[in-house]
Amino acid sequence: MRRILVTGGAGFIGSHLCERLVRDGHDVVCLDNYFTGAKSNVEHLLGYPNFEIMRFDVREPIKIEVDQIYNLACPASPVHYQTQPVRTVETSVMGAVNLLRLARETGAIVLQASTSEVYGDAQVQPQDETYYGHVNPIGIRACYDEGKRCAETICFDYHRQYGVRVKVVRIFNTYGPRLAPGDGRVVSNFILQALRNKPITVYGDGSQTRSLCYVDDLVGGLVAMMESPDEVTGPINLGNPGEYTVLELAEKIIAMTGSKSQIEYRELPQDDPQKRRPDITRAAEVLKWRPHIELDIGLARTIGYFRRQFQLELDVA
């Protein structure tokens, strides 16, 4: 049994990670300030003796004895990080510094949840970990993109200068139950619009591509990375290399929900990436990890979740 801190633990990915770690028998401390997370995501864990939750903001220093730290604290949706850009970049950078200082004091391992957004509007396809990216440093997405890039820099500087054990993963688009309904992500947007028979909003002509990894697969990758030898520092891509256009995804969700929705095209947002597909060769070779859950299965589970969670709202609508 290890004592494990999960920051952003009441968020979408964080709550699933907490669930996995509690099930594996670890002593889990979930830390979240509820800016985008929700206590309801982890309330089913509150009765477990090896789970506790703290309301805390990683922009502040923290003192706690732990063996491992999963740092997932940061708004990941454009809806949230473009509304609070300063808070977002502070969470990425100051949060990483505070947790690396904690790791230096306690000897803990830090797993930094970075993002495929460090590649920006990628000019190569697929993206592997050697690609430096194509990011607009002053655009409306930069608070997230550059914040995560800087967090990676700090992790490796603490590793080189102070010997802190670090692991960096770059997470590609992930979906599944507990996606927040209003955070603007493509899967949750399309599912809720389809269930309500509302227009499906596709930005641009829908030819931009996304690779979608089901959350259970992603959590398996996070755990595999944390449990890898110390010399495995990353960065390592975690995602599903299957690639779909946004239009294909919209049409698939309409069909799976039996919706009467029509597709409505809107102007493409600034700096919206046109291609997003991970090269997971390194994850497969080093971690022996690759995703297994097919898109249709994952979407069916996610659609079922939204049907159950929002049935009263949908009935009224």
- How far is it, in rounded angstroms, from Cα 53 to Cα 163? 29
Task: Tell me which residue of 300, 292, 277, 258 sits closest to 122, measured CA to CA.
Answer: 277
Domains in the chain: how many in total?
1
Cα 35 to the center of its chain, rounded Å? 15
3-class secondary structure, 69: strand
What are 29's strand-pairing partners? Answer: 5, 52
- How far is it, in rounded angstroms, from Cα 280 to Cα 159? 24
Q: How many other CB atoms sit within 10 Å of the CB of residue 180?
A: 18
pTM value > 0.85: yes
Contacts of 192 (CB under 8 A, 6+ apart): 181, 198, 306, 310
Does a structural domain hold residue 297? no
Helical pair 246-257 and 295-309, crossing angle rounded to 10 deg: 60
184, two tokens: 């603007």
Task: Tell me which residue of 64, 88, 70, 68 sits closest to 78, measured CA to CA.
Answer: 88
What are 53's strand-pairing partners? Answer: 30
What are 114's strand-pairing partners? Answer: 170
pLDDT of residue 293: 97
pLDDT of residue 274: 73
144 given a catalytic annotation: yes
**DSSP 8-class letter at 145:** H
pLDDT of residue 189: 92
246, two tokens: 């946004």
Alpha carbon distances (Å) from 203 to 200, 206, 211, 217: 10, 6, 17, 28
Of the listed 144, 158, 175, 214, which one is catalytic? 144
Say if CB 112 and CB 151 are below 8 A apart.
yes
- Residue linked to tokens 């060769």: 281
Does a structural domain hold residue 277? no
- How far is it, in rounded angstroms, from Cα 13 to Cα 111? 14
Does a structural domain hold residue 247? no
pLDDT of residue 66: 98
Task: Tell me which residue of 268, 255, 254 sits closest to 208, measured CA to CA.
Answer: 268
Does a structural domain hold residue 289? no
Residue 76: domain span: 3-172+215-238
pLDDT of residue 273: 67
Does a structural domain hold residue 251? no
Tens of pLDDT, residues 210-242: 899 999 999 999 999 999 999 999 999 999 999
Q: How many other CB atoms sit within 10 Å of the CB of residue 23?
A: 12
104, two tokens: 């230096």
Does a structural domain hold residue 96? yes
Phi first, then psi: give them for residue 245, nearest 5 degrees: -75, 155
Say if CB 64 and CB 29 are below 8 A apart.
yes
- Residue linked to tokens 């990915």: 13
Does a structural domain hold residue 76? yes
Does a structural domain hold residue 262? no
- Domain CATH number, residue 140: 3.40.50.720
- Tell me which residues of the chain have a pLDDT lower than 70: 269-273, 312-317
Helix (H) or strand (E) holding 113: strand 109-115
Say if CB 126 and CB 71 are below 8 A apart.
no
